[in-house]
Amino acid sequence: MDIRTQPLAAAPAPVLRADYAPPVWQVPEIALEFDLDPARTQVTGRLSVVRAGTGPLRLDGDGLTADAVSVDGVPADWTMDGDQLVIDLAGDAHLVEIRVTIAPEANTQLMGLYASDGLLCTQCEAEGFRRIMFFPDRPDVLARYAVRLVADRARYPVLLSNGDHVDSGTLPDGRHYADWRDPFPKPSYLFALVAGDLAVNRDSFVTGSGKVVELGIWVREHDLGRTGHAMHALKTAMAWDERVYGREYDLGVFNIVAVSDFNFGAMENKGLNIFNSRYVLADPDTATDQDYDAVATVVAHEYFHNWSGNRVTCRDWFQLSLKEGFTVFRDQQYSADQGSAAVKRIEDVRVLRAAQFPEDGGPLAHPIRPDSYIEISNFYTATIYNKGAEVIRMMHTMLGEAAFRAGSDLYFDRHDGTAATCEDFVAAMEDASGHDLGMFRLWYRQAGTPRVHAALDFDAPGGRARLRLQQVVPATPGQPDKQAMPMPLRIALFGEVSGTKLLPEQTVMLDGAHQEILFEGIGERPVLSINRGFSAPVTIESDRSAADLAFLSAHDDDPFARYEAMQQLMVDTLVDDVATGNADLTPVIAAVKATLADPALEPAFVAEAVLLPSEAYLGDQMPVVDPQAVTRAWDRLRGALGAELIADWRGVYAGMAAGGDSLEAAGKGMRRLRGVALGYIVASGAADGPALAAAQYEAAGTMTDRQTALSALAMTASAERDAAFAAFHARYADNGLVLDKWFQTQALAPRSDTIDVVERLARHPDFVMTNPNRLRSLVGAFAVNQRAFHDPSGRGYRFLGEMVVAIDRINPQTAAKLVPPLGRWSRFDAARGAMMRAELERVLGTEGLSKDVFEQVSKSLG
């Protein structure tokens, strides 16, 4: 780091995985009492502490001061060591009582106990509990919780916490209370409470062993009609986890609460999940089909954590992917089972490529089990979650369904009620299956996306084909030299003439840096289909021609590989066009036409297949990103596809209208394809494009159709565009989640003036800096809009830098998550790179910067 830019305060010290030491004190029981008030909440903690090693009792705190401390009923001596409260205890077991006072309404970080829209709620993962009570706030300290909540009855009629509700009543002063007991020992990050004026959608679920579970989804009264889909998802997820993983729910109650201000998607607190309201609320007028799917996936994800995360938790935060990678894999399997598995896989890979691949290739790259962090909140990343899920998926592919299930049974069995490690998971998989996963463990240690080069030679007279594979794992920060990683590659060969598979699909284990595979009895020139189903999270480099890719896009019988062939054809064409400005577009146009005309394909698949890769993804394929050249090529191909196939798009557009407003999978797929067709019609430049989109906007019976029309109009400079955005804002002025779409659609618009629009929107009265969803909708969306963010003036960078500094004063976690787009400076030309770095330096020089932003910015500068 440049010495001149070092902040005045010393750089915060990193926490190292190698420094793990077991806790010196355990806390098997804790009683908590909350006297709730937004300005002044008193919290009393009674901790039964038991010695497990040598040393004083050290309790983590963050912004807390102890009002009173006693040990075994006697006022005690204590000291503060930084943020830790330290008590020298003579014996091996004591009762420590501590009282603190906190101010939830002043808590804008949304960690610990905070106020949101009149409610009081908590977020404790990863280190929020220490903002509520002094405690060994680490996941390997598991306690049984007894909680009393006391509050004003009129203002906070509903009082919820983890576990079972055991008592409630009125106190002599008129305030009311509720007592909750959670019989399962848990780490402090799973503690939760909610108080407020909430309505409930109640239902129940009978488990496989006949236990009745009371289900509740708690929301503001006016949102009650939007909770049906989440409830349906919850019940199907509960049944699915019993059927597929043999996991039954363990408490008599399962509650979900929706809150408007939330740093992440949702939180798996034991028996009391707290959700960002965007992943609970859905009805056809306010939620798109995509929103419906996201609600179901997140509800399932949090529910699945009850086993993968809660019953078996993490020993330390370096093991975060133990619960997150596995749980994402589980929610992906669940969602694949609810609809089209092929389309789900395509969507998951698109997310991985858009969010994780750039992370893996940039200054913030880290292994799925990192070795160090400054602020753990910065490690809730696409790498830990999505690449983590891919690593689990590879084990599933290598072991097969039955052995994988035996491994997961063994894992849950062995580690139930304890805090485990990634190593424990892999060992359970090995022990149950007899598979050696020795070298596979490299996936936990090494960062970076492997590149696999594949070349296929055909010896026609000998009837033999030879596949040569070569693997390179690129250097990443702190890891200059890498070892080759074992990976399963699903492979097939197709006959160029017959159009059929020449041999049954094989799963080839690529075990080293080089490998050759010989195929015998090949009677015609074979075309290679590789990494089918995206069996390994790698980049494949092959020399397949445009003709071969077009062939696969029409003949491959693996839907993912078929999609992939079309994408690769588009990428190759666009990259060529970026370089030459006159690439031959006809193979793409012909392949898209053939896909649109294939009656055997489901509409949802066709919609994915004919969509162009994003400008950002194209940038990722170039040695130095030239955003303007990418935009030129992208617009040219999109316009040509629209214009050349205009009759086809109009035909699809009319044909897909039959999907109507049905919420079934078929209706959803038709709406999706219809929306893609509308986009191409508008992109074709046809004179009636804006009017057609405006007509769809007017007639829309669902948010999906309305939002699709709005996105299509956002590309245009038309009176229809302005009218639709004004109408949308007026119609949904009092619905924050829908207003987020209004901001986001404008921030994502592929237009050269988007930067002006975004700067203006940042001054709009509805742009509230305290709400993370709103920040992500405008600032987060803008920063991934390559053509807008990388405006040659550098205004995009300045805008983001200023936002990061301003948001950091309110909510460091959310500010830190906005930094990575600036960290991609080395991927751009010298002029852009210098402006991006200058912005990072400016942020780093800001006084009073949080640890969160400090870590992201200093690492981004490299």
Name the residues that contact ligand 0A1, by CB under 6 A.
Answer: 111, 123, 125, 263-268, 301-302, 324, 380, 813
C-alpha pair distances (Å), 82 with each of 62, 374, 545: 10, 16, 62
What CA–CA distance (Å, rounded) separates 552 from 530? 11
Nearer to ligand 0A1, 386 or 568 (CB): 386
Shortest CB 381 distance to Zn ion, Å: 12
Nearer to ligand 0A1, 634 or 854 (CB): 854
Shortest CB 857 distance to Zn ion, Å: 26
When CB distances are held under 5 to 8 angstroms depending on the partner's kind, the choice from Zn ion, ligand 0A1, none that residue 123 binds is: ligand 0A1
Q: In what order do the strands lie in the sheet with 199-206?
A: 199-206, 212-219, 253-259, 272-276, 266-267
Using CB under 5 A as the binding rule, the residues of this chain from 279 to 338 that contact Zn ion are: 324, 327
Nearer to ligand 0A1, 109 or 568 (CB): 109
Nearest to 17 by CA among 289, 320, 231: 320
C-alpha pair distances (Å), 291 with each of 396, 421, 607, 741, 856: 28, 33, 17, 11, 30
Shortest CB 524 distance to Zn ion, Å: 48
When CB distances are held under 5 to 8 angstroms depending on the partner's kind, the choice from ligand 0A1, Zn ion, none that residue 321 binds is: none
When CB distances are held under 5 to 8 angstroms depending on the partner's kind, the choice from Zn ion, ligand 0A1, none that residue 297 binds is: none
- At residue 166, φ and ψ (nearest 5 deg) are -110, -20
Pairing of strands 79-81, 66-71: unpaired
Nearer to ligand 0A1, 296 or 693 (CB): 296
Nearer to ligand 0A1, 142 or 700 (CB): 142
Residue 347 CA to chain centroid, in angstroms?
13
When CB distances are held under 5 to 8 angstroms depending on the partner's kind, the choice from Zn ion, ligand 0A1, none that residue 265 binds is: ligand 0A1
Radius of gyration of the chain measured on its C-alpha atoms: 28
Residue type, 670: M
Please, are residues 469 and 510 in contact by the beta-carbon 8 Å criterion? yes
Count of residues near Zn ion by CB under 5 A: 2
Q: Which of 125, 127, 268, 302 is catalytic?
A: 302
When CB distances are held under 5 to 8 angstroms depending on the partner's kind, the choice from Zn ion, ligand 0A1, none that residue 548 binds is: none
When CB distances are held under 5 to 8 angstroms depending on the partner's kind, the choice from Zn ion, ligand 0A1, none that residue 264 binds is: ligand 0A1
When CB distances are held under 5 to 8 angstroms depending on the partner's kind, the choice from Zn ion, ligand 0A1, none that residue 266 binds is: ligand 0A1
Nearer to ligand 0A1, 270 or 751 (CB): 270
What CA–CA distance (Å, rounded) separates 280 from 229? 8
The number of C-alpha atoms within 13 Å of 221 and in the hemisphere containing its C-beta is: 5
Shortest CB 125 distance to ligand 0A1, Å: 4
Residue type, 93: A
Please, are residues 193 and 122 in contact by the beta-carbon 8 Å criterion? yes
Output the residue with the shortest Cβ distance to ligand 0A1: 264
Shortest CB 182 distance to ligand 0A1, Å: 17
Shortest CB 375 distance to ligand 0A1, Å: 11
Which helix (H) or strand (E) segment holds residue 44: the answer is: strand 41-51
- At residue 617, φ and ψ (nearest 5 deg) are -65, -40
Which residue shows structure tokens 């209004």?
742
Q: In what order do the strands lie in the sheet with 487-495?
A: 506-510, 487-495, 526-530
| 3-state SS, residue 51 | strand
What CA–CA distance (Å, rounded) separates 858 from 327? 31
Nearer to ligand 0A1, 265 or 651 (CB): 265
Shortest CB 320 distance to ligand 0A1, Å: 9
Using CB under 5 A as the binding rule, the residues of this chain from 547 to 566 that contact Zn ion are: none
Nearer to Zn ion, 327 or 529 (CB): 327
Q: What is the CA angle 269-272-277, rounded to 5?
A: 95
Please, are residues 536 and 487 in contact by the beta-carbon 8 Å criterion? yes
When CB distances are held under 5 to 8 angstroms depending on the partner's kind, the choice from ligand 0A1, Zn ion, none that residue 843 binds is: none
DSSP state of 332: H
Two tokens at 499?
């159009």
Nearer to ligand 0A1, 324 or 608 (CB): 324
Q: b/e map of 706-722 (b: 16 or more CB within 10 Å)?
A: bbbbbbbbbbbebebbe
Nearer to Zn ion, 265 or 477 (CB): 265
Active site residue 302: yes
When CB distances are held under 5 to 8 angstroms depending on the partner's kind, the choice from ligand 0A1, Zn ion, none that residue 43 binds is: none
Two tokens at 145?
């919780």
What CA–CA distance (Å, rounded) separates 428 from 441? 13
When CB distances are held under 5 to 8 angstroms depending on the partner's kind, the choice from ligand 0A1, Zn ion, none that residue 424 binds is: none
Shortest CB 849 distance to ligand 0A1, Å: 19
What CA–CA distance (Å, rounded) separates 181 from 196? 20
Nearer to ligand 0A1, 301 or 721 (CB): 301
Nearer to Zn ion, 205 or 326 (CB): 326
Nearer to Zn ion, 384 or 857 (CB): 384
What does the DSSP assignment read for 148-200?
EEEE-TTT--EEEESSEEEEEEE-TTS-EEEEEEEEEEE-GGG--EEEE--EE
What CA–CA distance (Å, rounded) separates 33 from 146? 9
What CA–CA distance (Å, rounded) separates 592 from 594? 5
When CB distances are held under 5 to 8 angstroms depending on the partner's kind, the choice from ligand 0A1, Zn ion, none that residue 184 binds is: none
The residues, any chain, with a CB within 8 Å of residue 84's CB and separated by 6 or more, are: 58, 59, 60, 61
Please, are residues 270 and 182 in contact by the beta-carbon 8 Å criterion? yes
Shortest CB 413 distance to Zn ion, Å: 22
CB atoms within 10 A of CB 785: 22
Shortest CB 262 distance to Zn ion, Å: 14
When CB distances are held under 5 to 8 angstroms depending on the partner's kind, the choice from ligand 0A1, Zn ion, none that residue 263 binds is: ligand 0A1
- At residue 589, φ and ψ (nearest 5 deg) are -60, -40
Shortest CB 360 distance to Zn ion, Å: 20
Shortest CB 813 distance to ligand 0A1, Å: 6
When CB distances are held under 5 to 8 angstroms depending on the partner's kind, the choice from Zn ion, ligand 0A1, none that residue 604 binds is: none
Length of the chain: 862
What CA–CA distance (Å, rounded) separates 629 from 634? 8
Shortest CB 104 distance to ligand 0A1, Å: 16
Nearest to 624 by CA among 583, 574, 578, 572: 578
What CA–CA distance (Å, rounded) separates 330 from 224? 28
- At residue 116, φ and ψ (nearest 5 deg) are -140, 115
Residues forming the active site = 302
Binding site for Zn ion (CB under 5 A): 324, 327
